[in-house]
Amino acid sequence: MAQVKYTIKLVRNTTNDESSDPVNSYRRRIYVRLKRPNPLFEMWLEEMIAKAEEKNTMGKIALQKALVSLRRYPLPLATGRDCMVLKDFGKTICENLDRRLKAFLASGGRVPVQSDHDRAIEALLNDEHGEHYRELTQRPSGEVDDTIIVEEQDTVEDAMPDDSVFDHVPIAAVDEAFVTISQPKAILLVDTCETIGKSKSGLDRTLQELAQYSVEHEVRRLSVGDFAWIVKDDAGREFLLPYVVERKRLDDLASSIKDGRFHEQKFRLKQCGLPNVIYLIEHLGKNRQVGVPEATLTQAALNTYVQGFTVKYTENHHHTVMYLSVMTNFLNSSLKNKLFLDVTHRPATDDSTQFRFANQTVPLFSFDYFYKQSSKTRDCTVRDIFMKQLLQIKLLTIEKVNAIVDKYPTPQCLYRAYERCPSETERHGLLNIPYGPTKRKIGEKLSKIIYQLMMNDRYTP
């Protein structure tokens, strides 16, 4: 078996904040990446290519393309079937890899697991004669010890974070724009897409189960999300409670990742104005393949959680309906003896738009206004369009785009900033700025790509 090799890079964090903790000023982050994440599959593909060349068959071209695609993929793949997600991999190649893997394991072979990588990395870092040991043990100027963070790139944590939907931010501010609701009752709104199926047996399945649990609900066309809750005031006006649910079956999640809808949908959910977005992922059962490795789906869920969404897993459709039922009942019990505040036209960053069930004041959003503002066809600002354009760039996530537009809200602002840079090097690194809660840098490569997109007269594929 080919030996697993690693690329290790040590980066010292720097901060311009003089008041920050001196320990944080000397923190170093260790980036570790597998040089060959799938050495067995690479070796077997090379053997298959060699045999095809001996027989002088056309299959060698397909195998060579598959090998190139595999070497570009940064994550370990557990089975040959997982390779189906990669470009130029067909059913025959994947089945051949699975046969070889089965024979390899039957003969006593062993595939490295995460703990093997951890031990190997630790040994490399603690090798006194190695290239990284001296850099790790060097003390910075001053009396402060280094704080070392070991971080593996492109890996997936086994445990999912707490999926509680009831822990949120502080109490709303009291204002005069109160809404009178004598008998508050939460009504579940179900998007029309959730009730329409291709077969008669699947038609209105959600509604039937909701009726079974005595959940008051209405079917509406929602401009964003799949489920939401409204209350009606004494004048009959409809207001949204500060929660929206986006339901994704695993196959739909995989499809949205492959065709790019994943980031666009999360962007619209973030921009809709409702502060608490629940991303509900519904399993399909055991042995159901969705065309994307499980590790990739788990990483997507973790990224969604880090981006400020609440992530909730359910076992099946029935479990999803049970969750909605429990959430509706909990909302109804929590709305009793509360004050209701209309925060429709307040900025999303206003504390009064946030909600915690222990609070005495509940923020509400006009349903009509919400529907118009979150519609795909609504009038967009230049900032909105600029964000959507940037999201089309691969690896440019919502947090990175938000950091860019916070500093340069329009293409013209960014263009002028590039013009003020005295050198080409500074232009390339202009957008290598901190983003998100961890304040990691966007990266010089992405910064350079955006510069070329903005400033080049001619674009090449």
Q: Rounded CA gap, 320 and 379, in Å?
A: 34
pTM (whole model) above 0.75: no
Average pLDDT over residues 215-240: 89
Mean of pLDDT over the chain: 76
pLDDT band at 136 (very low <50, low <70, confident <90, very high): low
DSSP conformation letters of 137-168:
HPPPSSSPPP-EEEEETT---SSPPP--SS--
Spatial contact of 277 and 307, defined as CB atoms under 8 Å apart: no
pLDDT tens for 370-417 read: 777 666 656 677 888 888 888 888 778 878 888 899 899 899 999 889
CATH number of the CATH domain containing 223:
3.40.50.10130
pLDDT at position 228, please? 92
DSSP H/E element including 339 = strand 339-342
Residue 277 pairs in a beta bridge with 244
Label residue 185 exposed, middle or buried (CB < 10 Å: 0-12, 13-18, 19+): middle
With CA atoms as reference, report the closest residue to 272 among 188, 378, 399. Answer: 378
Same-domain check for residues 353 and 207:
yes
Residue 138 has pLDDT above 80, yes or no: no
Candidate ranges 12-26, 275-289, 294-308; pick with highest mean pLDDT: 294-308
Spatial contact of 112 and 129, defined as CB atoms under 8 Å apart: no
3-state secondary structure of 388: helix
**Would residue 211 count as lying in a domain?**
yes
Q: What is the extent of the structural domain holding 416?
A: 382-455
Instruction: Return the exposure string of 219-232: e unless at least 16 CB atoms fall within 10 Å of the residue's CB, then b.
Output: eeebbbbbbbbbbb
Same-domain check for residues 387 and 368:
no
Same-domain check for residues 364 and 262:
yes
pLDDT at position 305, please? 83
Domain boundary among 340, 374, 408: 374
Residue 347 tokens, joined = 């900025």
* Total number of domains in the chain: 3
pLDDT at position 132, please? 63
Candidate ranges 50-59, 170-179, 384-393, 414-423; pick with highest mean pLDDT: 414-423
Average pLDDT over residues 256-277: 79
3-state secondary structure of 220: strand
Same-domain check for residues 111 and 217:
no
Higher-scoring residue by pLDDT: 2, 365: 365
Q: How many CB atoms lie within 10 A of CB 452?
A: 13
**Would residue 133 count as lying in a domain?**
no
pLDDT tens for 84-131 read: 777 778 888 888 898 999 998 888 887 766 556 666 666 666 766 766
Same-domain check for residues 355 and 413:
no
pLDDT tens for 306-345 read: 778 888 988 888 888 889 998 898 888 888 888 888 888 7
pLDDT tens for 354-364 read: 566 667 788 88
CATH number of the CATH domain containing 97:
1.10.150.110
**Would residue 173 count as lying in a domain?**
no
Same-domain check for residues 291 and 249:
yes
